[in-house]
Structure 1
Amino acid sequence: MPQLDTSPWPMVILSMIVTLFYITQLKMLNFISHTNPLFKSIKTKEYKTAWKPKWPKTYSPSLMSQ
Structure 2
Amino acid sequence: MPQLDTSTWFITILATILTLFIIMQLKISTYYYHSNPEPKTTKMTKSLIPWEIKWTKIYSPLSLPLR
Q: TM-score when scaled to structure 1?
A: 0.49
Name whichever structure is richer in helix by fraction: 2
Q: TM-score when scaled to structure 2?
A: 0.48
